[in-house]
Amino acid sequence: MKFIDYDHNFCEGKINGMPEYFNSITSLVFVGVGLYGLSQQYTAFDKPIQKILKTNSFIINLIYSIFVVIGYGSAGYHWTGQMGWALLDETPMIVCLFIGISYLYQTYNLLQKRESCFIYSNACHICIVSLMFFFIVVNTMENYRKLFPYFFTGSVLSFYLLLRYTMYSFDKKKLQFITHIGNKNVYIIICGGVIWYFTELMCNYSHNKLLLIGHPLWHLLICYGFYNIIQVIYFINCYTQVNMILNRYDIILSYNNFFMLEMAPSTSLLNQIA
């Protein structure tokens, strides 16, 4: 297998040929979202809270750095259809998702206020990492290349189930807007995935130009949805640690810093929580 070996194209390539202009351009949204996530600074807090935020933000910054790689990898893949660019698109997607699952698992344990058995906890993380590398290796094999969407969907479903348990554990009466944001953005991603699947499927039978909107729309929806879901997990993790370690609630007052295009709750609600 060589970097420049041809892999396959998508609906736009079937209709208009290569390069896939719309898919390539909208792939760069991942770069923008990644840089936006990296640029967020939470300096409005005093030093004890800043320390907790910075500890958590290492993983979050790693995820957003991978978003940037996904963006230019995906753009290169849609522009050329080459195997090397395909793997530079898909491998970071796998790594990003499994890092998210591991961070989500840690957040869930934090919410349960339990000290997991050292062996059990590390065994779970080893399993997560092992599955990640197994997925990466299998995805490089030519006879399994077209199964990537199905393997990835299965991994996303695992992430979703753990996310549901985590949000359910966090679903405090005065903080329901956080779980609302999480659920809403899950539905946005599902909607994008369904649009992607059916437009790519229909493209095998029809070359209607309307089908060109499916893949670019998927890029936009998954970027928006995953950004806010990552921020939901980050918020829950930070809020829980501030509450447990410092017995303080003023992290909630920085709500507007955490989410993209989401309306903040009323000032009266924030004052009640604080």
- Mean pLDDT, to the nearest integer, of 189-202? 95
Give the residue extent of every domain in the chain.
11-273
This prediction's pTM: 0.87
CB 93 within 8 A of CB 152: yes
For the segment 3-47, what is each residue's pLDDT rounded down to a tens digit? 999 988 899 999 999 999 999 999 999 999 999 988 875 554 556
- Answer yes or no: CATH 2.60.40 is held by domain 11-273: no
Q: Is the peptide bond before 265 cis (omega within 30 degrees of 0)?
A: no
* Angle of helix 214-241 versus helix 148-170 axis, rounded to 10: 30
Longest C-alpha distance within the chain, in Å?
61
Q: Hey, is 202 helix, strand or coil?
A: helix
For the segment 74-123, what is each residue's pLDDT rounded down to a tens digit? 999 999 999 999 999 999 999 999 999 999 998 888 887 655 566 777 88
CA-based nearest residue to 83, from 30, 132, 142 = 142
CA 46 to CA 237: how far, in whole Å? 18
DSSP letter (8 states) at residue 244: I
Q: Which residues of 58-97 are buried (b: 16+ CB within 10 A; e: fewer)?
A: ebbeebbebbbbbbbbbbbbbbbbbbbbbbbbbbbbbbbb
For the segment 216-245, what is each residue's pLDDT rounded down to a tens digit? 999 999 999 999 999 889 888 888 877 777
Q: Which two tokens stand for residue 12?
A: 């736009």
